[in-house]
Amino acid sequence: MTLQLSGTASLPDRRVVVTALGITQILAWGSTFYLLGVLANPIVRDTGWSYAFVMAGVSAGLLVAGLVSPRVGRTIGARGGRPVLAAGAVLLALGLALIGIAPTVPVYIGGWIAVGAGMGAGLYDAAFSTLGSIYGKDARKPITWVTLFGGFASTVCWPLSAFLVEQLGWRGACFVYAAIQIGFALPIHLFVLPARPDEVSTATADKAAVDLARDERLVFLILASVLTLGAAILSMVGMHLLALLQARGVTLAAAVAFGAMVGPSQVGARVIEMLAGSRYHPVWTMIASTVLVAVGTWLLYLDVPIYAAALVLYGAGNGIGSIARGTLPLALFGAQRYPVLMGRLALPLLIAMSIAPLLGALIFDAAGADGTLGLLSAMATLNVLLVCALKLSIPKPEQR
């Protein structure tokens, strides 16, 4: 059942909505998930807090984001994405301001808890759900375009963060990002995004939240496992890649250069998927994603001296995996239930992202680079098997 506004002609211009969400996604990711990539060391030097406590902020934020995601999905299903994304911008601003004034670690973590609530209401899952509520079954291309924008978050915000730290200090950088959320992202969400479709009611959304047939429950469970395992791999590699490469004898400068290949590979793969993806079911995008990630991690584990190729493959897999994360649930469960189910799927995914860096650090301390990369390769291989099971579990059209 397709969820859409009354009449195709009343649908808002995709170019406007996608550009608006794409820009706010860059700013949301850049001021949250990627923030400490630049600010962590200045915070440690200025406050004397331990690096572990500083980095724990992101983990706390991701954990909270996961916990609020089911309610976020239900709210988007009932009210549309505009009020949810607007609230996300406000929460991000409040959290960033609190981080900026934090005199102690507990206050700092409290700021990240507020940021986490904003992440749950303002990152990919909420944006994808919003696009699904607006465009229904035709949301695949807008979702892909938004991921293209999001792929530039670190490219745009890391240099911006470095400039702000140099000019204003890390606290000033947090205040500027808070002001951007209030003065830029909030008005975009309020005045560019449409109100919810009149046809959608809270009762309909609540019914959709539990309306899964028996065969759909199995598909949903496997899909949740695939997305959660993929998120854990992404988070673990993202936090520890440079350390893993250096443990293999790569210099810091070379490790940074290799790591920089991941971003362009993600964007390039997304462009290819955007051009060709409409010709096949999104499950094939997910299969390709898991295979590419598995090959990339295995090349790293086997210590083959082609790190560039390994990370290009890994980055490409992650790039199209973000698209599949948004488009596959839409194709499997339909537009009406999409916002609610995206909220459900985000819960284990974001919790995994919050825990994986700590797990990776413990394994790295105990087993070194070989043990960590071996675990990542095994996880990636398991995900290939899971996505194959997902493909086999999807009912054929005549069976529905």
- What average pLDDT does the segment 123-142 reach? 89
For 11-32, the pLDDT digits (tens) are: 778 889 999 999 999 999 999 9
Least confident of 31-35, 175-179, 356-360: 356-360
Structure tokens at 52: 């572990």
As separate numbers, helices (DSSP H) first and strands (DSSP E) second, the chain gives: 16, 0
Nearest Cα to 21, choosing from 88, 78, 75? Answer: 88
Kindly give, in sequence order, each residue whose CB lies less than 8 Å from that of residue 30, ignoring residues fewer than 6 positions away. 153, 154, 156, 157, 158, 160, 161, 177
CA–centroid distance for 302 within its chain: 28
pLDDT of residue 200: 47
Of residues 287 and 261, the one with the higher pLDDT is: 287
Domain 211-394 fold is Growth Hormone; Chain: A; (1.20.1250)
pLDDT of residue 196: 65
The correct CATH number of 12-204 out of 1.20.1250.20, 3.40.50.720, 3.40.50.300, 1.20.210.10 is 1.20.1250.20
- What average pLDDT does the segment 152-180 reach? 91
Nearest Cα to 144, choosing from 28, 3, 270? Answer: 270
pLDDT of residue 247: 86
Least confident of 87-91, 221-225, 348-352, 366-370: 366-370
Q: Report d(CA 115, CA 58) in Å as an integer.
A: 9
Share of the chain above pLDDT 70, in %: 92
pLDDT of residue 136: 85
pLDDT of residue 312: 93
Structure tokens at 337: 């239930």
Kindly give, in sequence order, each residue whose CB lies less than 8 Å from that of residue 100, ignoring residues fewer than 6 positions away. 111, 171, 172, 173, 174, 175, 178
pLDDT at 88 over 80: yes
Sign of CA dihedral 248, 253, 255, 257: negative
What pTM does this model have? Answer: 0.83
- What average pLDDT does the segment 175-192 reach? 95
- What average pLDDT does the segment 244-258 reach? 83
Q: Report d(CA 181, CA 85) in Å as an integer.
A: 11
For 252-282, the pLDDT digits (tens) are: 788 878 877 888 898 899 888 888 877 889 9
pLDDT of residue 53: 87
pLDDT of residue 13: 82
- At 397, is the pLDDT very low, low, confident or very high (cuts 50, 70, 90)? low
Q: Report d(CA 60, CA 156) in Å as an integer.
A: 24
Kindly give, in sequence order, each residue whose CB lies less than 8 Å from that of residue 305, ignoring residues fewer than 6 positions away. none
Q: How many residues does the chain have?
A: 400
Residues of the chain with CATH 1.20.1250.20: 12-204, 211-394
pLDDT of residue 174: 97
Burial class (CB in 10 A: 0-12, 13-18, 19+), 38: buried
pLDDT at 154 over 60: yes
Quote the DSSP letter at residue 339.
H
For 194-225, the pLDDT digits (tens) are: 876 544 444 444 554 456 777 788 999 999 99
* C-alpha R_g of the chain: 20
Structure tokens at 299: 């090349």
Of residues 105 and 155, the one with the higher pLDDT is: 105
Count how many Cα atoms sit within 13 Å of the Cα of residue 362 in the half-sphere of its side chain: 5
pLDDT of residue 365: 82
Q: What is the mean pLDDT of the chain?
A: 87
> Where does 182-335 have alpha helices with state H?
186-192, 202-210, 214-247, 252-259, 262-276, 282-301, 307-333
Kindly give, in sequence order, each residue whose CB lies less than 8 Å from that of residue 86, ignoring residues fewer than 6 positions away. 186, 189, 190
- At 7, is the pLDDT very low, low, confident or very high (cuts 50, 70, 90)? very low
Structure tokens at 157: 């915000």
Q: Report d(CA 80, CA 368) in Å as an integer.
A: 47
